[in-house]
Amino acid sequence: MRRAGAVSPGNVPVCYYGPGGRVPASLERRVRAAEVLLRCAACGLAVLAAALLGADRQTRVFFSIQKVARYTDMQSLVLLVIANGMAACYSLIQCARCLVSIIRGGVLLSRPLAWAIFSCDQVMAYIVISAVAAAMEAALIGKYGQPEFQWMKTCHLYKRFCAQAGGAVACAIAASANMVGVALLSTFNLFRLYGSGKGGAGDK
Amino acid sequence: MRRAGAVSPGNVPVCYYGPGGRVPASLERRVRAAEVLLRCAACGLAVLAAALLGADRQTRVFFSIQKVARYTDMQSLVLLVIANGMAACYSLIQCARCLVSIIRGGVLLSRPLAWAIFSCDQVMAYIVISAVAAAMEAALIGKYGQPEFQWMKTCHLYKRFCAQAGGAVACAIAASANMVGVALLSTFNLFRLYGSGKGGAGDK
């Protein structure tokens, strides 16, 4: 599926070009490896975040009344679990597609498919980032309270619950960073199918 | 600055190509017009959101104690004002650059400049989206409360304050949608400088 770069000068190392055009084969390989790694990492981290939140509960007794803290007590944490579950499933499917593409030795040249992947990646990145931001806001209120509105801090009452939720939010932040990286890569994979690669002449 | 598309077949309407390569001049014009419009709209909406929040205050008297609700009472609203202020300034500068570029009749061909604009647009879009998500979470707690943590709803006490803050959040959501659109356009402007435009052959 690859052909030697006919336009490369003879006195530079031989450069292979994929069917995608002016992208050297070495860059093509690195882009694919990075995509698989980022998608796998995003999947793993999103699963970990969702699992940590799903299993997070702490029971305390206050004046003979038993109270249980769960992630379902806070809407933003429920949203974070849903967003991470979606991100994990999506990343797994995309990871499988990338691996099949690598095994078959092909290159993404279909504009409709590249547009579909690009759109889904963008949407997923923004969903995960939004869910993380909302969860962080709720976590900060839980940690420090909001005295002006009489919203008391609760983390000193449920220390273990809050620590585990904090770990889950940290995993979700790492997963969202990977999703953003993936979104950038799929953007590159889409828009290199357009244009002539003649850039570099300055902003005229 | 423009040349006739020498590669276009004779039996299709004459197509002009800008120096950027395989992008028809009509598409180039539409992309530029869309970029200016989106950036202007983002700037206006971000200013409006920040102004609405900045001017938002309501005084109530509870049992002879006077209480004033301001946006500074909630960290996420302060963050939203800062993020929208940054977005407005940035959009204004970028809008001016776009207009100068249109007046001078040039096309963005510099890869370093395209990378810089792309990076800034991406970062701004994610910052504004995150700030909006955090503010929405706080606004929802203010509106409906979080009974499991004894976080009371406060919007029934400060109705006018909450209504104005809601309007500001709506403006910020619209501004962030524009910022996302701008980020997509600058992505297109960057990556069309790469690749050969030979897409369309399927995922081989």
User: How high is the pLDDT of residue A157?
Assistant: 85
Percentage of chain B with pLDDT > 70?
Answer: 81
Which pLDDT value is given to residue A20? 46
Find the radius of gyration of the CA atoms of chain A: 23
- Residue A108: the pLDDT is 61
Share of chain B above pLDDT 90, in %: 35
Mean pLDDT for the stretch of residues B32-54: 92
Nearest CA in chain B to A110: B202
- What pairs with residue B3 in β-bridges? B17
Picking from A38, A53, A130, A51, the residue whose alpha carbon sits closest to that of residue A90 is A38
Q: Which of B149, B150, B187 faces A191 most closely, judged by CB atoms? A: B187
Tell me the average pLDDT across B166-183.
Answer: 93
User: Which pTM was predicted?
Assistant: 0.80
Q: Using 50, 70 and 90 to split pLDDT, how confident is the model at B16? A: very low
Mean pLDDT of B55-82: 85
The two structure tokens encoding residue A85: 């579950």
Tell which of A128, A130, A155, A188 to mutate to test the B interface (max B CBs under 10 Å).
Answer: A130
Residue B1 pLDDT greater than 60, yes or no:
no
> Rounded distance, CA B32 to CA A120, Å?
25
Q: What is the reported pLDDT for B131?
A: 94
pLDDT of residue A106: 67
pLDDT at A189: 82
Tens digits of per-residue pLDDT, B94-110?
A: 999 888 888 887 666 67
Distance of alpha carbon B118 from alpha carbon B124, whole angstroms: 10
Q: Are A165 and A53 in contact (CB under 8 A)?
A: yes
Q: Angle between the B25-54 and B159-191 helix axes, to the nearest 10 degrees?
A: 160
Residue A158 confidence (pLDDT)? 85
Name the token pair of B86: 């940054």
Low-confidence ranges of chain A (pLDDT < 50): 1-21, 197-204
Q: What local confidence, expressed as pLDDT, does residue B195 receive?
A: 55
pLDDT, one tens digit per residue, over B112-141 is: 888 889 889 999 999 999 999 999 998 988
Lowest-confidence region among A70-74, B27-31, B43-47, B49-53 = B27-31
Whether the Cβ atoms of residue B172 and residue B80 lie closer than 8 Å to each other: yes
Over residues B167-191, the mean pLDDT reads 90
CA distance B11 to chain A (A): 23
The pLDDT assigned to A90 comes to 94
Smallest Cα distance from A33 to chain B, Å: 17
CA dihedral A108, A110, A116, A120 (to 10 degrees): 10
CA angle B122, B110, B197 (to 5 degrees): 80
Beta carbons of A201 and B110 less than 8 angstroms apart: yes
